[in-house]
Amino acid sequence: MVFKRSERPRADKPVPIPVKIVVAGGYAVGKTTFVGSISEIEPLTTEAALTSHSDGVDIAGEAAKSSTTVAMDFGRITLGDDLILYLFGTPGQDRFHFMWDDLIRGAIGAVVLVDTSRLEDCFPAVDYFESAGIPFVVAVNAFFGKMHHSLEDIREALAVPESTPMVVTDARDRDATKGTLLELVQHALALVNAG
Amino acid sequence: MNEISGTDRLRIRPYALTGGRVRSTTELALETIVRVTGRCIIHAHELSSERREIAGLCDQPVSIVEISARLSLPLGVARVLVGDMVSEGHLNTHQATETEITPDGRPDQRLLERVLNGLQAL
Ligand SMILES: Nc1nc2c(ncn2[C@@H]2O[C@H](COP(=O)(O)OP(=O)(O)O)[C@@H](O)[C@H]2O)c(=O)[nH]1
Ligand SMILES: [Mg+2]
């Protein structure tokens, strides 16, 4: 049975407002680690079916053949009785852009995670958020505290304007993750206030 | 995969549950949070087993993606079932107001400030 009698709510209770932030970047850059460092639940995974979009989206043959779903993981942070923040970690390959359209709709913005030894892995994500006009921050995940390039060099390589925040983070560290999320929310707020 | 223990119940092919539909008429965002209504509780015994499982999770506020992950239902299927249950009055959802969402559907200044304060307080 679903409910015990004692658990029956008397009246319909209010439902919290959901907000979300997308965490993007190349394979093994630390997306799941980043989400897990601050989430109140163990990150969960769901499968988005490639075939669930019948609106003429071109699904890369390779992906369609090898599997029909894309895994996407997410975590949750309760910010009050009436407000819950979801973090979505999503693969950054070009062929998954159709999924991002759905994911990014209504989002606060995105954190693009970068591994400085494989800088080019984040290009598709930067391209996407820039062209979609989504607020984003670039967060360099400094594996073992090592950065192969300076932030200025990375900014130049990514060709993102000064107005796009860039931070160094540590995906394993809750405070560093929190700081990165705050950076994004402040950036999104500044854009809303300016616009 | 399924939490129901002690039974060898076969799972129904997920898309059969939605009559092959992969799009909900209401097209809820995947992070939409739902909660059971009093009406759902009264009528729980009339629900299909999948819907009853969903209702069971929604005693507390949960999102469509959480339902999908926890019940191992494809996201499209969870979306359609939840959308139907909202239309039928079995689940409640928050209706965003103009003071929360900008015309392009993103959180507005006040909502962003609440997120900022909430994060800072963590
Ligand atoms: N040393 C170090 N290892 C990390 C860091 N972030 C992630 N990792 C490790 O890198 C691997 C890939 O991380 P994961 O979060 O699964 O990457 P994802 O594919 O982007 O989700 C895992 O073994 C992590 O433990 C980091 O900041 N420093
Ligand atoms: Mg991952």
Sheet containing B33-36: order of strands = B62-63, B33-36, B91-93
Weakest-pLDDT range from A57-71, A81-95, B92-106: A57-71
What is the sign, positive or negative, of the torsion defined by CA atoms of B71, B74, B79, B85? negative
Average of pLDDT values for B86-101? Answer: 81
Q: How far is the CA of A93 from the centre of ligand 1 (A)?
A: 17
pLDDT above 50 for A57: no
Tell me what the pLDDT averaged over chain A comes to: 83
- Does B31 sit within 8 Å of A192, measured CB to CB? no
Q: Is the pTM of this model over 0.95?
A: no
CB contact A67 to B (< 8 Å):
no
Contact A134, A107 (CB under 8 A): yes
B10-51 confidence digits (pLDDT tens): 555 666 666 666 555 557 889 999 999 988 878 878 888 889
Compare CB distances from B119 to A103, A185, A193 and report the shortest one's residue.
A185
Q: Cα B71 vs. chain centroid, distance in angstroms?
A: 11
Weakest-pLDDT range from A59-68, A180-189, B3-12: A59-68
Size of interface A-B (CB pairs under 8 A): 148
> In Å, how far is B84's CA from the nearest CA of chain A?
17
Instruction: For residue A70, list its beta bridge partners.
Output: A48
Instruction: List the structure tokens of A93.
Output: 């390959």
pLDDT given for residue A52 in this prediction: 38
Q: Which residue's CA is minimally distant from atom 11 of ligand 1?
A: A28
Residue A181: list chain B partners with CB under 8 A.
119
- Does A15 sit within 8 Å of B118, measured CB to CB? no
Res. B2 pLDDT band, cuts 50 70 90: very low
Weakest-pLDDT range from A79-88, A109-118, B90-99, B105-114: B90-99
Backbone φ and ψ for B47, nearest 5 degrees, come out as -80, 155
Compare CB distances from A79 to B56, B100, B115 and report the shortest one's residue.
B115
Closest CA to A114 of A75, A70, A155, A71: A155
What is the DSSP code (8-state) at residue B101? Answer: B
pLDDT given for residue A65 in this prediction: 39
Q: Which residues 115-174 of A have a C-beta within 8 angstroms of B?
A: none
pLDDT given for residue B71 in this prediction: 94
CB contact B44 to A (< 8 Å):
yes
Contacts of B34 (CB under 8 A, 6+ apart): A15, B58, B61, B62, B63, B64, B67, B82, B85, B86, B91, B92, B93
Contact A139, A109 (CB under 8 A): no
B20: left (phi over 0), alpha (psi -120 to 50) or beta: left
CB contact B74 to A (< 8 Å):
yes
Name the residue with higher pLDDT: A169 or B5. Answer: A169
pLDDT given for residue A51 in this prediction: 43
Give the Cα separation of A133 and A75 in Å (integer): 24
B49-82 confidence digits (pLDDT tens): 889 999 999 989 999 999 999 999 988 889 999 9
Contact B31, A20 (CB under 8 A): yes
CB contact B66 to A (< 8 Å):
yes
Q: Of the bound ligands, which one is closest to the alpha carbon of residue A35?
A: 1
Give the Cα separation of A100 and A93 in Å (integer): 10
What ipTM is given for this predicted complex?
0.83
Q: How far is the CA of A33 from the centre of ligand 1 (A)?
A: 6
Chain B contact probe: residue of A6, A8, A19, A177 with most B CBs at under 10 A: A19
Res. A172 pLDDT band, cuts 50 70 90: very high
Pocket test for ligand 1, best of A33, A70, A113 (most atoms within 8 A of CB): A33
Q: What percent of chain A has pLDDT over 70?
A: 79
Instruction: List the structure tokens of B102.
Output: 């900008």
